[in-house]
Structure 1
């Protein structure tokens, strides 16, 4: 007597797992920007600021971010090599009249001031975030990160990583121009 046996369900498990992983990989590869990190802030008011002074100047406040002007908020640190790379682009934006508010992230204040003295200070105002609490509230993954805010203090765009002339022209300026209309 021969007994008919079906295919064991365990034999089907590897191909099913492979097909599922292949589908996830395909979906991931077809996203608009696979390097984009999501931001829950876009379209919402900028979070609270808990900043201390950096070199004697009073830090800016949340009210400053709602002054009616389109602006940038840039998280940076003196120990951050990409921050040094993007600094000329921040200076160029500031020289073109773009208000940039700097938040110095988990940095030694003396080293942060030295960084600005050496490379120039592009910031309309600056504050320090020594504990990283403000960065957490803003959803910062790492420095540098730049946010475009409208005049009401609403976050319109988050750009993780250093700015480059290409990013400024393709992403930052269009977001600012759209906000100004």
Structure 2
């Protein structure tokens, strides 16, 4: 029995090495989503700017969109905000915002102060749609085709590099009806 305890540290090091080696080369921003190829989950949320206006999945119909999950409490969301403005204003990308687990007033002040890249902003204070999407945190951005089907999930900040390498080819592809 004492000999078994002598080998325990060696066994633990080997197990840890295998686990770490398995993660080498994997992209930490690439989290698979069970929703790829499926419609955006059903929802009924209010518009951030107009609490009386209820929105549902029809908001995604008719045009390829990015669904951007954000919150005022999220430092990385602030980091990507200027890039989202650039995409909306200069590139003509339709972005739907999902204000996630946030305070309505804080979010409205944020958009007033920093600019509003969103065609529509869904207000999800309890995180119900975020939960159904499998959101781990913010920011996360989804490519949604004109039929409301989830085509891609990006975890982390959207910047020019992410746009050029990951999102733009998909948006172009689904705009062309692929």
Fold match by TM threshold 0.5: yes
Q: CA deviation at 1:88?
A: 1.1
Change (3 A) 1:59 1:99: farther
The separation in 2 between residues aligned to 1:117 and 1:158, in whole angstroms, is 27
The separation in 2 between residues aligned to 1:100 and 1:23, in whole angstroms, is 41
- Deviations along 1:62-102, one digit per CA (max 9) or x if unpaired, are 0221x232111111112222111111111111112211111
- The structure number with the bigger radius of gyration is 1
Q: Does 1:155 align with 2:112?
A: no
Indicate which of 77, 99, 106 corresponds to 1:104.
Answer: 99
Residue of structure 2 equivalent to 1:76: 70
The separation in 1 between residues aligned to 2:48 and 2:82, in whole angstroms, is 21
The separation in 1 between residues aligned to 2:171 and 2:151, in whole angstroms, is 8
The CA RMSD measured in Å over matched residues stands at 2.2
Where in structure 2 are there 5+ consecutive unaligned residues?
A: none
Residue of structure 1 equivalent to 2:120: 125
Assess if the C-alpha contact under 8 Å between 2:29 and 2:154 holds in 1: no
| TM-score normalised by structure 2 residue count | 0.85
Where in structure 1 are there 5+ consecutive unaligned residues?
A: 1-7
Residue of structure 2 equivalent to 1:47: 41
| TM-score normalised by structure 1 residue count | 0.84
Alignment of 1:84-103 (within 5 A): 84-95=78-89, 96-103=91-98
- Deviations along 1:79-128, one digit per CA (max 9) or x if unpaired, are 22211111111111111221111111122111111111111111111120
Equivalenced residues, count: 173
The separation in 2 between residues aligned to 1:120 and 1:59, in whole angstroms, is 23
The separation in 1 between residues aligned to 2:28 and 2:97, in whole angstroms, is 28
